Amino acid sequence: MDVLTLAGQELEGAKIDAMLLYPAQVKSIAPRWRVGTATTIDDRDVDVVQGNTADGIMVSLFFDQKTGLLTRSVRYTDSPVGKLPVQTDYSDYRDVNGVKMPFKLLQTGLDGRDTFELTQIRANANPEASRFAKPAPVAPPKK
């Protein structure tokens, strides 16, 4: 598998995705948020808030009116052909040290759909820094 290098709005989009997994970080994604029009997702009423990051990425967040949990996020990044949407649906919330965390994420973009199903989330874990090092290049296959 190749190492994917992110830059520009792709990198900023990945940062947004990561911040959305930590409830205390959500507010800091955009300098100003505005209330959107409430809607329905999968027969559940949701409240909508929208904002723009400092880098110009438009973000819409959909919160379940009954639970207050994040149900969906949609972010739009600029491209030569217009705004490109990336939608993430959050489900299977479970308690992790007193905080509800989504254990299933479904991310849909123009390049397809990816499902992430977590089996465990450990709060305040202290992983070794080496786990975040860029892997060595893979040698090309022999002919």
* Residues 6 or more apart whose Cβ sits within 8 Å of residue 84: 76, 77, 78, 109, 110
Assigned domain for 2 exists: no
Domain hosting residue 61, numbered range: 8-120
Assigned domain for 51 exists: yes
Q: What is the CATH number of the domain that holds 82?
A: 2.50.20.10
The count of domains in the chain is 1
In this structure, of 48-52, 71-75, 96-100, 137-141, the range with the lowest mean pLDDT score is 137-141
Q: Which helix (H) or strand (E) holds 10?
A: helix 8-19
Assigned domain for 142 exists: no
Q: Give the span between the Cα atoms of 79 and 68, in whole angstroms.
A: 33
pLDDT in tens, 59-85: 999 999 999 999 999 999 888 888 889
Assigned domain for 53 exists: yes
Task: Supply the DSSP symbol for 143.
Answer: -
For residue 12, the Cα-to-chain-centroid distance in whole angstroms is 11
Provide the pLDDT confidence category of residue 1 given band limits of 50, 70 and 90: low
Assigned domain for 36 exists: yes
Assigned domain for 67 exists: yes
pLDDT in tens, 77-120: 888 888 889 999 999 999 999 999 999 999 998 888 999 999 99
Beta-strand relationship, 58-64 and 82-96: unpaired
Q: Is there a contact between 72 and 86 (Cβ–Cβ < 8 Å)?
A: no
What's this model's pTM, rounded to 2 decimal places?
Answer: 0.85
Q: Which two tokens stand for residue 89?
A: 């649906």
